[in-house]
Amino acid sequence: MSNGIEDWFERQQTANQNRLDKCQNKRAFTSEAEARAHAASDRVQFGDRFTPYRCDICGDWHLTRSGS
């Protein structure tokens, strides 16, 4: 028989590991300015709009796609 809190804890651990894995697979930039420069370059090359955001996991900057 499983314990509710143990199930919750396991789900939290899995979610945290998934977030860490996603973070580690993204390009990381040391500043917002660097991330914005790459976003502008990507926009020219790929036509997508990218928005920089500060990662609460690693503290660096990543890019996310934003709607048009």
6 vs 43, more confident: 6
Query: Kind and range of the H or E element at 29?
Result: none
User: Where does residue 56 fall: left (phi above 0), alpha (psi -120 to 50 degrees), or beta otherwise?
Assistant: alpha
Query: pTM of the predicted model, to two decimals?
Result: 0.68
The pLDDT tens digits for 20-48 are 888 888 999 999 999 999 999 887 777 77
- Residue spans per domain, the chain: 27-68
- 8 A C-beta contact, residue 66 and residue 50: yes
* pLDDT for res 33: 97
- 8 A C-beta contact, residue 26 and residue 62: yes
* pLDDT for res 18: 87
* pLDDT for res 2: 61
> Average pLDDT, stretch 12-27?
89
- 8 A C-beta contact, residue 55 and residue 62: yes
CA 43 to chain centre: 18
* pLDDT for res 68: 45
